[in-house]
C-alpha cells in the first residue's frame, strides 16, 4: 500500500517452484525362484516385485527387495510394466512348479511303496512259507497275490522313471514329464487290487486265529525284529489298499496343475477319470465281498447255534432215558 501511495508499481514475484516428484522406481517381476548362498546376490521367489537399482549390465542387475540389496540374473525376471502379461506368466510358472512337485512326490511314494512290498515279501511271506507252524493255505490267505502286485509295481516304476526328459539329469524338469502313459494298464490294476482288497478281511481273520498259537506269535515277533520296525503285519497288509486310493488323489492334483496347453493334458485327464472309475469298481467289489463274508459268517453262526442246541437236546434226552431206565429198575427191584 505504501509503494502504491508513492507511485511505485509493486513487484510481483512468481510463487516458489514446487519440488518435482522423484522419478518412479524401475521395477521388475520375478518369474523364477532365485536361490543363492552368495551374500552379494539377491535371493527372491517367483512373483516378487524387485526394485532395480542398477541395470547397466545386461546379464546381472543390482536390485533391492525387503530392505535387502544384491545382484541377480536378468534371465530370472521380466519387465513389470507389462504387469498383466507378466502375472499371467507367473501364474503359469507357479502352476508348472506345483506340477513338478506333485510328480516328484509321486516318484518318491512309488519307490517307497515298492520297498515296502519287497520287505513284506522278504521278512514275512518268505519266513511264513519256510515255517512249519504255518500251513501253505494259511500263508496264501494272509498274503493273497502280494507277489504279483510287487512285480506289477516294479514295471510301473520303470515306466515312471522312463518319463525323464534329460539323460544328463534324469530327475529334473518334472513339469515336462508325460505320466499318463504310466497308468495305461488300468484293467490289470483293477484285477490285482480287486483280488487283494476282497481277500483283506479273510487275511485279518486268518491272522487273528493263528495268533492263538504261541509258536506263531514267536514267529511274528522274530520277523518284526529282523525287519527292525514297530510296524505290525496288519499295517503292512493295509498298505496296498491305501495305495490304490492314493493314486486317484495324486493324479487329480497333477491334472489340476497341468495347463491345458501341456502336451500331456488330454491324456492325463482321461487317465485320471479312468483311475477314479477303477477305484470305484475296486471299492464296490470289496463291499460286495465283505457282505458275502458277513453272510457266510451269519450262516456259520446259525449252523453252530443249531448244532449246539441239537447236542443239548440229545444230551437232555439221553439223561431222561437214563432216569427212566433207573426208575424202571427201581420198580422191578425196590431193594435197590
What residues pair up with 70 in beta bridges, in sequence order?
63
Per-block mean pLDDT, blocks of 10 residues, the chain (336 long): 48 54 70 87 87 91 93 86 66 84 95 96 95 94 96 96 86 88 90 93 94 94 88 91 91 94 94 92 78 55 59 62 64 60
Contact 233, 203 (CB under 8 A): no
C-alpha cell at 109: 511314494
**Residue 80 confidence (pLDDT):** 67
Give the Cα-Cα-Cα angle 174, 176, 178 (nearest 5 degrees): 100
Cα 336 to Cα 334: distance, rounded to the nearest angstrom: 5
pLDDT at 8: 47
Q: Looking at residue 220, what is its pLDDT?
A: 93
Rg (CA), the chain: 39
**CB neighbour burial string for 189-204, b if at least 16 within 10 angstroms, e if fewer:** bbebbbbbbbbbeebb
- Looking at residue 46, its pLDDT comes to 77
**Cβ neighbours of 308 (radius 10 Å):** 10
Cell numbers at residue 211, please?
495268533
pLDDT for position 81: 62
Three-state SS for 261-276 is CCCCHHHHHHHHHHHH
Alpha-helix runs per DSSP H in the chain: 2-5, 83-120, 126-130, 136-143, 146-161, 186-210, 214-227, 233-256, 265-332
Q: Provide the whole-model pTM.
A: 0.67
Amino acid at each position: 500500500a505504501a509503494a502504491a501511495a508513492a507511485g511505485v508499481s509493486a513487484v510481483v514475484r512468481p510463487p516458489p517452484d514446487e519440488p518435482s516428484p522423484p522419478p518412479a522406481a524401475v521395477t521388475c517381476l520375478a518369474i523364477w525362484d532365485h536361490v543363492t548362498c552368495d551374500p552379494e546376490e539377491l535371493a527372491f521367489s517367483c512373483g516378487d516385485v524387485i526394485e532395480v537399482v542398477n541395470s547397466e549390465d545386461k546379464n546381472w542387475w543390482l536390485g533391492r527387495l525387503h530392505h535387502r540389496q544384491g545382484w541377480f540374473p536378468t534371465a530370472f525376471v521380466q519387465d513389470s510394466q507389462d504387469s498383466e502379461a507378466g502375472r499371467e506368466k507367473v501364474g503359469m510358472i507357479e502352476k508348472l512348479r506345483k506340477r513338478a512337485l506333485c510328480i516328484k512326490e509321486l516318484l518318491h511314494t512309488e519307490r517307497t511303496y515298492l520297498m515296502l512290498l519287497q520287505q513284506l515279501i522278504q521278512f514275512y511271506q518268505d519266513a511264513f512259507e519256510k515255517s512249519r507252524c504255518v500251513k501253505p493255505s494259511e500263508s496264501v490267505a494272509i498274503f493273497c497275490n502280494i507277489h504279483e502286485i510287487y512285480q506289477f509295481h516294479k514295471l510301473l516304476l520303470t515306466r515312471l522313471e522312463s518319463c525323464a526328459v534329460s539323460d544328463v539329469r534324469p530327475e529334473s524338469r518334472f513339469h515336462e514329464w508325460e505320466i499318463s502313459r504310466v497308468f495305461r494298464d488300468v484293467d490289470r490294476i483293477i484285477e490285482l487290487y480287486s483280488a487283494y482288497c476282497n481277500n483283506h478281511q479273510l487275511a485279518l481273520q486268518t491272522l487273528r486265529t493263528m495268533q492263538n498259537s504261541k509258536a506263531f506269535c514267536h514267529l511274528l515277533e522274530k520277523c518284526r525284529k529282523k525287519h527292525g520296525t514297530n510296524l505290525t503285519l496288519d499295517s503292512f497288509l493295509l498298505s496296498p489298499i491305501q495305495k490304490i486310493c492314493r493314486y486317484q488323489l495324486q493324479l487329480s492334483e497333477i491334472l489340476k496343475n497341468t495347463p491345458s496347453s501341456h502336451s500331456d493334458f488330454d491324456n492325463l485327464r482321461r487317465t485320471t477319470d479312468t483311475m477314479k472309475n477303477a477305484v470305484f469298481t475296486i471299492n464296490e467289489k470289496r463291499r460286495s465281498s465283505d457282505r458275502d463274508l458277513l453272510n457266510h459268517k451269519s450262516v456259520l453262526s446259525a449252523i453252530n447255534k443249531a448244532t449246539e442246541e441239537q447236542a443239548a437236546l440229545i444230551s437232555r434226552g439221553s439223561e431222561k432215558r437214563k432216569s427212566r431206565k433207573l426208575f424202571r429198575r427201581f420198580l422191578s427191584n425196590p431193594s435197590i
